């Protein structure tokens, strides 16, 4: 009988972004995105929570060594996102609006191939302490 | 294929309440509710977390603009609850004991009709940092 | 040579209150205190931080055993304030408006005689995570 | 129709532990567990969140009185774990490596028989604010 | 005898910035400021704590109505800083490197003329939960 | 005219310890230190806040690069304390009881020679979120 345990690792990164739809004119962008549309960007301290579900290994007592998970997040997400401008510096947002929803899906897609498919994976992203998102829901 | 993302908005309100069952005598009320039964009321800084699940709109990248969600919570919940006495000032608790469980269900029922049925809705309420509730479970 | 160390103990209590000046009419009270003037009260999760400054005892390594400090706060403050209506249940506020400023001074005056005068004493009170006060300044 | 509400109670304990597999030699233990393998132990402020799901009682408005839940956690978990060395002082870890995953399962198994089977039970354990686990997942 | 009480109000804003000294070449800027020198900017959720020291007014029990203090911070700081690029959008940083130290002094200088000189004023600014500054020290 | 700004860096470490005075018998140790006297040790997630006061350098806008301060804390404190048993693994506590008060003084004395004397230095140590100490006071 499977004894599934969830393990979570929390990391953070600081980044600039702006919300903008290039198919819309300036007025509509401002109407929809308000001050988040500032062409000079604004920024956040993002907090990232990565959840894996699996069975603890009987030899280690770990579902996964969280130090190894932390290294994967560091290499595959933080190196690309931390102290960056999401719109200008991150390939995935060249043609994708960096809302929290789109960022969390991009991060999931970066991590999924690096994590053994035996583990369920879920990602939560705090844009501020009062606004956050989770994928898959 | 649906790509469901959860989005969360956190708000707060300050309110007074007391726990009391009018069908019981004073002794039984005190036995069950202890100091929460104080007839002069006590109070809390409630923290409210509202979760919606849906698919991001391809044009905005939003599941729902959290500013709009915040405005709905403000108008339909906080205007009625913030700086109020839940027992005396809030219609829903005229005949309902304002435990955290009952408050969270009332808040859910206030919000559900204001949120597009396409979204799943869940509400979490912190009465203190150590006691909190969630509906639906 | 004195080696002064500060030690802090944090406690909490939940209480109802209203802000009101009985020398003013209703209109002026509402103008000054706004929704904090609600005659039915509202409430808070107060967080209380008590700071003592003194020299560590060479035998124990303690400035003061924080368990003993916690017991003093429990007996002399929390017993009187927790799950109470500050205006109606606490003697000190029978004729004193229970603003955070007045509450913190009252708490200081309750604790000062119970703490050895060799220690400097300072009290901080959080009414919400965004509004807090400290005495003496 | 069932109206299920989740209620959560958060508690904490402070404990020492080390990670170690007695079937491995020192080098392998150090390779896998790193500084967590320190033979002299290290320690944590563990935060424990216990979640119950059930229907609020119409007479009390409680799923379960969280004061009673807190007393159960105190008696069946904290008395055994708080200010202890998990490896040396807690029976369950005499032959089980006290990783967060194993601790959370042990705590679940201690609480499950003390909680009415009508309630679903889930336990979350924070080893640090950045590393935490949940069971069942 | 003066009875001085300190009152604190906490606010937040989200902004982009980069650290850069225009008198230095690119290599020296990168050497000193590292990834904070990214020419495309990065950003933060800044938390701002404003402290006033004064005597409570005997009629209100307030040192200063924190709602009024909040409005002043909103108008004189947040309107200029929130969802902005500090380097490009804020006059004060046209020729001043927006380090946390320089930002906190600028905010103090914006607030000082708006606050009655009878109050002592101190400002604390969190750039991240682990890096923060205070002025005057 | 000096423009003094305070800068703070927060770090953490996990350690085991016990409180014990070898000049006392077991009964007196248990009477004074209670469960903190457990001979098998217990432990904490310590949070460490280091404060420096100085004038911002006009070329960098920094009082001190907090990355450099973080490296000093890492090398001179965390390397010695993190994932250690304070009583057994840290030289300073071979003959000194590792109370929070004594730990904070030891950390101050480790850091003081590594920090330019032009800076004032103060250290705060959280043993738990409710018990913390500061030196010099």
Q: Which residues of chain E have a CB within 8 Å of the CB of A14?
A: 42-44, 128
pLDDT tops 90 at residue C2: no
pLDDT tens, residue by residue, E11-64: 999 999 999 999 999 999 999 999 999 999 999 999 999 999 999 999 999 999
pLDDT tens, residue by residue, B73-108: 999 999 999 999 999 999 999 999 999 999 999 999
Report the distance separating Cα E24 and Cα E22, nearest Å: 5
pLDDT tens, residue by residue, F55-83: 999 999 999 999 999 999 999 999 999 99
Kindly report each contact of residues D74-77 with a partner whose C-beta sits within 8 Å and lies 24 or more positions away, as own/partner.
D74/D11, D76/D110, D76/D111, D76/D114, D77/D11, D77/D13, D77/D48, D77/D107, D77/D110, D77/D111
Instruction: Give the minimum alpha-carbon distance from C13 to chain E in angstroms, rounded to a whole number.
Output: 20
**In 3-state terms, what secondary structure has residue D71?**
helix
* pLDDT at residue B2, as a whole number: 66
Report the distance separating Cα F55 and Cα F66, nearest Å: 14
Candidates C34, A38, F97; CA nearest to B83 is C34
pLDDT tens, residue by residue, F98-132: 999 999 999 999 999 999 999 999 999 999 999 99
Instruction: Give the minimum alpha-carbon distance from C43 to chain F in angstroms, rounded to a whole number.
Output: 22
Contact E101, E34 (CB under 8 A): no
Residue A59 neighbours by CB distance under 10 Å: 11
- Rounded to an integer, the average pLDDT of C98-103 is 98
Candidates D65, D60, D48; CA nearest to D13 is D48
Classify B41 in phi/psi space as left (phi over 0), alpha (psi -120 to 50) or beta. Answer: left
Contact E65, C131 (CB under 8 A): no
Separation of first and last alpha carbons in chain A: 26
Q: How many domains are there within chain D?
A: 1
Specify which residues F16 forms β-bridges with. F43, F85
Report the distance separating Cα A132 and Cα A134, nearest Å: 7
pLDDT tens, residue by residue, C84-94: 999 999 999 99
Instruction: For chain D, say whether A6 makes contact (Cβ under 8 Å).
Output: yes
Instruction: For chain D, say whether F44 makes contact (Cβ under 8 Å).
Output: yes
The verdict on whether D42 is a catalytic residue reads no
Q: Which residues of chain E have a CB within 8 Å of the CB of A82?
A: 35, 42
CA distances from D73 to B42, D9, D97 (A): 26, 9, 22
Report the distance separating Cα A47 and Cα A132, nearest Å: 9
ipTM reported for the complex, 2 dp:
0.96
* pLDDT at residue E2, as a whole number: 66
Neighbours of chain F (3+ CB pairs under 8 A): C, D, E
Contact exists between F and A (3 or more beta carbon pairs < 8 Å): no
Report H helices in chain C.
26-33, 66-73, 79-81, 86-89, 100-111
Q: Which residues of chain D have a CB within 8 Å of the CB of B29?
A: none
Contact residues for A114 (Cβ-Cβ < 8 A; gap 6+): A72, A76
The verdict on whether B26 is a catalytic residue reads no
pLDDT tens, residue by residue, A36-86: 999 999 999 999 999 999 999 999 999 999 999 999 999 999 999 999 999
Looking at residue F37, which CATH number applies to its domain?
3.30.479.10
Contact A31, A21 (CB under 8 A): no
Instruction: List chain D pLDDT tens, one digit each, 137 residues.
Output: 469 999 999 999 999 999 999 999 999 999 999 999 999 999 999 999 999 999 999 999 999 999 999 999 999 999 999 999 999 999 999 999 999 999 999 999 999 999 999 999 999 999 999 999 999 99
Contact D8, B124 (CB under 8 A): no
Residue D66 neighbours by CB distance under 10 Å: 24
Domain interval for residue E56? 5-135
Q: Does pTM surpass 0.95?
A: yes
Cβ contact B19–D53 (<8 Å): no
For chain A, the C-alpha Rg in angstroms (whole number) is: 17
Instruction: Give the minimum alpha-carbon distance from E57 to chain A in angstroms, rounded to a whole number.
Output: 34
pLDDT tops 60 at residue A1: no
Instruction: For chain D, say whether F10 makes contact (Cβ under 8 Å).
Output: no
* pLDDT at residue D117, as a whole number: 97
pLDDT tens, residue by residue, E92-112: 999 999 999 999 999 999 999
Contact residues for D25 (Cβ-Cβ < 8 A; gap 6+): none
Tokens standing for C1?
């040579």
Cβ contact F84–D40 (<8 Å): yes
Instruction: For chain D, say whether B31 makes contact (Cβ under 8 Å).
Output: no
Cβ contact D56–B101 (<8 Å): yes
Please pick, among A36, A49, A101, A134, the residue that the annotation labels catalytic: A36
Q: Dmax over Cα atoms in chain F, in whole Å?
A: 60
Specify which residues E10 forms β-bridges with. E49
Instruction: For chain A, say whether D22 makes contact (Cβ under 8 Å).
Output: no
pLDDT tops 90 at residue C22: yes
Instruction: Give the minimum alpha-carbon distance from C1 to chain E in angstroms, rounded to a whole number.
Output: 25
Q: Which residues of chain C have a CB within 8 Å of the CB of E62?
A: 99, 101
The owner of tokens 């103008």 is C31
Instruction: For chain E, say whether C38 makes contact (Cβ under 8 Å).
Output: no
* pLDDT at residue F2, as a whole number: 66
* pLDDT at residue A69, as a whole number: 98
Size of interface D-F (CB pairs under 8 A): 75
- Rounded to an integer, the average pLDDT of B112-134 is 98
Instruction: Count Cβ atoms within 10 A of the Cβ of residue C56 and give its class: 0-12 exposed, 13-18 middle, 19 or more buried.
Output: buried
Candidates A86, A94, A125; CA nearest to E41 is A86
* pLDDT at residue A2, as a whole number: 67
Neighbours of chain B (3+ CB pairs under 8 A): A, C, D
Q: What are phi and psi of E113, to 5 degrees?
A: -70, -15
Residue F117 neighbours by CB distance under 10 Å: 8
Neighbours of chain C (3+ CB pairs under 8 A): B, E, F
Nearest CB neighbour to B5, from listed A32, A34, A135: A135
């Amino acid at each position: 009988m499977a004894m599934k345990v969830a393990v979570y690792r929390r990391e953070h990164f600081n980044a600039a972004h702006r919300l903008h739809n290039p198919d819309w004119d300036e007025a509509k962008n401002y109407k929809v995105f308000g001050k988040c549309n500032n062409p000079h960007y604004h920024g956040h301290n993002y907090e990232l929570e990565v959840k894996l579900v699996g069975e603890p290994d009987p030899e280690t007592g770990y579902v996964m060594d969280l130090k190894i998970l932390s290294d994967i997040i560091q290499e595959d997400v933080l190196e690309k996102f931390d102290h960056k401008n999401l719109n200008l510096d991150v390939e995935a947002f060249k043609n994708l609006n960096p809302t929290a929803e789109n960022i969390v899906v991009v991060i999931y897609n970066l991590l999924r191939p690096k994590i053994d498919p035996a583990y369920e994976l879920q990602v939560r992203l705090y844009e501020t302490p009062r606004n956050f998102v989770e994928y898959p829901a």
